[in-house]
Amino acid sequence: MNSWFERQFKLSEHGTDVRKEIMAGVTTFVTMAYIIFVNPGILSETGMPFGSVLVATCLGASLATFLMAFLANYPFALAPGMGLNAFFAFTVVLGMNIPWQVALAAVFVEGIIFIILTCTKVREEVVNSIPKTLKIGVSAGIGLFITFIGLQGSGIIVDNPAVLLGLGHLRGNIPALLSIAGLLLMVTLEARRVKGGILIGVVAVTAAAIPLGVAKMPEGIVSMPPSLSPIFMKMDFSMLMQPAFWSVTLAFFFVDFFDTVGTLVGVSSRANMLDEKGRLPKASQALMSDAIGTAAGAVLGTSTVTTFVESASGVEQGGRTGLTALTVAVLFLLAMFFNPIISIVPACATAPALIMVGGYMMMGFKEMEFNDWTEFFPALIAFFMMPFAYSIAAGIEFGVLSYVALKVLMGRGREINWLLYGLAVLFILNRAFM
């Protein structure tokens, strides 16, 4: 079996081994397993059956991540994306009164468009046209974004109407205190170079949370998954010729396109997967996994499938090949049957893992060209916009716009890839008319 893994994923070539890859896959899965329950919780607001969406979530994530493992040999995991599922449920279905079956059709059309663009290398060119300094800013920005999400999930940072954000009350706040303890444990293990430190921390916090009443003992170990039939292949194309359908499709397209680009660029940059020119080898294969996953996810009955930024947690644990992704894909399949156990992992256990990974990704900022403001400032804009706008796509958008503007203002427009000019125009039109 080890020799098959070696032949398939070229482990020694990437300086890794089977144990390290599987541990990385488990870590990635644990940090993103929340989607198994959060996605059905959001989509069920539209009237879609919770249990059926849970199965569609697991199958869609597993299929797309399998494709990532074997087509691209990258350690990235995919699943129905957060933000995109909320847009699907609350804006499109509940806000615009569009039936969920029609919304699924829009997601399917978006996936088909992505497949076509990937075949024509357009998406790959976009990924590779982003300059190295912006890639550093995007990677670090995703790190700050992940840290922010972790701080929110732990209850350490909370909503404050007066100043938008504030420090939560820690006295008696058991989940927040558990998160802090978990973070200290993870940092200590990492400092001592203990392999699997993040995963150990997640398990330890979960174990401590049960007697403290933050997590419950599982009611069982195995359960049969619900039927997929109520949502399987229920796409409705009756509104295909209406403008509202295409406005929704374009909205899905725009956010998914640049969220995926940002995640691929950021995580691959942190994992040193970019070549000497700052380009991502096999970008087309990685993007094709995402595109097929989106179309297949719509058929199964879930919102847009995209590359998850939590993949960075597995990368930080040493994951470098598709074996990490394969591990995640298998665990998503098993999750349909072992969801009673998976459901007990509380947010306070995964939150410190996200904070830890975010810190790792921000380390890349040390490679920035601080002496050139036309390079440094756009990266800084991308870095700050991601968490403050709560959008990876917005970080890329404002980073590219500021990069193009500064280069032109300094008379250095010839340094810019022609595709960046096109992206800048697209971003401006998007803000003006969408």
Same domain (yes/no): 273, 374: no
Q: Tell me whether residue 275 is in a domain.
A: yes
Pairing status of strand 78-80 against strand 305-307 = antiparallel
Same domain (yes/no): 324, 223: yes
- Looking at the structure of the chain, the number of domains it has is 2
Are the CB atoms for 413 and 407 separated by under 8 Å? yes
Same domain (yes/no): 67, 23: yes
Please tell me the distance from the alpha carbon of residue 51 to that of residue 230, in angstroms, as a whole number. Answer: 10
Please tell me the distance from the alpha carbon of residue 432 to that of residue 342, in angstroms, as a whole number. Answer: 44
Are the CB atoms for 295 and 117 separated by under 8 Å? no
For the chain, the maximum distance between any two Cα atoms, rounded to a whole number of angstroms, is 66
Q: Tell me whether residue 362 is in a domain.
A: no
Helix (H) or strand (E) holding 416: none
Please tell me the distance from the alpha carbon of residue 250 to that of residue 186, in angstroms, as a whole number. Answer: 41
Which of 74, 17, 61, 42 is CA-nearest to residue 269? 74
Residue 199: which residues within 8 A CB-CB, separation 6 or more?
A: 23, 26, 27, 30, 317
Q: Tell me whether residue 180 is in a domain.
A: no
Same domain (yes/no): 55, 114: yes
Same domain (yes/no): 326, 375: no
Same domain (yes/no): 261, 391: no
- pLDDT at position 42 is 83
User: Model confidence over 1-28: pLDDT tens digits?
Assistant: 678 899 999 999 988 999 999 999 999 9
Q: Tell me whether residue 351 is in a domain.
A: no
- pLDDT at position 351 is 86
Residue count (the chain): 434
- pLDDT at position 434 is 59
DSSP 198: H
Same domain (yes/no): 333, 373: no
Residue 399: which residues within 8 A CB-CB, separation 6 or more?
A: 134, 137, 138, 141, 378, 379, 381, 382, 385
User: Model confidence over 126-177: pLDDT tens digits?
Assistant: 777 888 788 888 878 878 887 888 898 889 999 988 988 999 989 889 999 9
Which of 230, 332, 287, 290 is CA-nearest to residue 107? 290
Same domain (yes/no): 261, 381: no
Q: Tell me whether residue 167 is in a domain.
A: no
- pLDDT at position 301 is 97
**Helix/strand number for the chain, H first, E second:** 19, 4
Q: Which residues form the domain of 413?
A: 368-434
Which pTM does this prediction carry?
A: 0.76
What parts of the chain have a pLDDT lower than 50?
none
Same domain (yes/no): 234, 306: yes
CA 411 to chain centre: 37
- pLDDT at position 17 is 93
User: Model confidence over 270-312: pLDDT tens digits?
Assistant: 777 777 776 788 888 999 999 999 999 999 999 999 888 788 8
Are the CB atoms for 140 and 361 separated by under 8 Å? yes
**Tokens linked to 320:** 């470098």
Pairing status of strand 164-167 against strand 305-307 = unpaired
Q: Tell me whether residue 206 is in a domain.
A: no
Same domain (yes/no): 273, 385: no
Residue 220: which residues within 8 A CB-CB, separation 6 or more?
A: 340
- pLDDT at position 172 is 86
